[in-house]
Amino acid sequence: MVSTQEMDATEAVERGETPRLAVAASSVPRIVYAIFGSPVRTDLHPVELRDLVASNDIKGTLWVDIDTDSRHQVALLEKVFDFHPLAVEDALNPQSRVKFDEYKNSLFVIVRGLRFCDTTDDPYDVETYNLCFFLTKNLLVTVHSGPSLPVDTVYERMLANPDQLQRGIERVAHALMDITVDEYFPVLDKIDEFVDGLEERVYARFDSDVMRDVFAVKRLVLSMRRHLMPQREVFNILTNRPTQFLPPESQVWFRDIYDHVLRINDAVDTYRELLANVMDSYLSQVSNRLGQVTKGLSVIATLSVPFVVVSGMWGMNFNDIPLSDHAHGFWIMLAVQLGLGAFLVWLLRKWGLL
């Protein structure tokens, strides 16, 4: 629910006036403004920010972080900055795909992060989030929804070491993208544990319920691959395509992120192959076990043949059957049946079937 104070403050900024009422801290974007030789400022008023951006004379580096959960911050994004409407629309849409767009006055990039979901009991459930970047000369605007680990980490890092801001605003963008991509590595480590556990359940101790978990991990791996493929293309562009907003010496830093994406992608492909091998091994073991059961049933059926044949012959409805009136006829027939059974056992062992 947006408070009345926040709505009034938002409307005041849109009209170019100073808000009369205090705005809640959550409705004010994070701002880091660094000028060489001066202390880092994090207290820029929205109106001061608007005037600074409108003057098109940003000395130093300016980073503005927009949280789309705040209506006031969304209003700043739409009214203060002269970004392309299509890019703003994509930044506000959490379902926007990973992309790289270059406009006349800005560079627009969407990077997708991935982490395990803490709100469900499913150990294989992951959630994704978009971190959007508007990059111009000396200005970086990041857009996301809710708390963001990369933003929190880089924000604290820049305040602790302001000299990093003097290296260029594109280095701030690099740090944010690097942490976002590196969040895939803990997921990879967890997948490695999952795969090791599945291999043990299949090879060391045959678990008939393992296939459900195999398919769950396989879905997780395929989900990672689906999110990685477009990001590989985006960082390839950031690394190799000339652009007015990224000097060549800065593109070298994005090559490091591109290498990370390639490493993650290679690991995902490896896990796909391992899971395929686990599935093949499981199916082979099921087939072997079925073969053993079938073999046992076949041996039992074979050994029962003499008993069935002999009993059937002496059980026919005729008056004159050999040994039918013999005092020891039953025992003679039983001995014949057991003898034939023993002969079949010897024969099956000789053929290697027992």
Q: How far apart are CA 298 and CA 306, in angstroms?
A: 14
pLDDT confidence of residue 111: 96
Cα 176 to Cα 154: distance, rounded to the nearest angstrom:
7
The three-state (H, E, C) secondary structure of 117-183, written as one string: CCCCCCCCCEEEEEEEEEEECCEEEEEECCCCHHHHHHHHHHHHCHHHHHHCHHHHHHHHHHHHHHC
Pairing between strand 126-136 and 139-144? antiparallel
CATH code of the domain containing 54: 3.30.460.20
Instruction: Name the residue range of residue 41's domain.
Output: 1-167
β-strands 126-136, 107-116: how paired?
antiparallel
Residue 314 located in a structural domain: no
Inside any domain, residue 244: no
State the pTM of this model: 0.77
The number of domains in the chain is: 1
Does 64 map to a domain? Answer: yes
In angstroms, the CA 269 to CA 165 distance is 37
Q: Give the integer Cα–Cα distance in Å for 8 and 72.
A: 9
In a domain, 76, yes or no: yes
Is 57 part of a structural domain of the chain? yes
What are the tokens at 225?
Answer: 């691959």
Query: Residue 62: what are its φ and ψ, rounded to 5°?
Result: -130, 125
Both tokens of 20, joined, read 């009369």
What distance, in Å, lies between the first and last C-alpha atoms of the chain? 77
In a domain, 56, yes or no: yes
Asked if the structure places residue 94 within a domain, the reply is: yes
Q: Residue 26: what pLDDT?
A: 62
Q: Pick out the chain residues at pLDDT < 50.
A: 1-10, 12-14, 16-25
In a domain, 274, yes or no: no
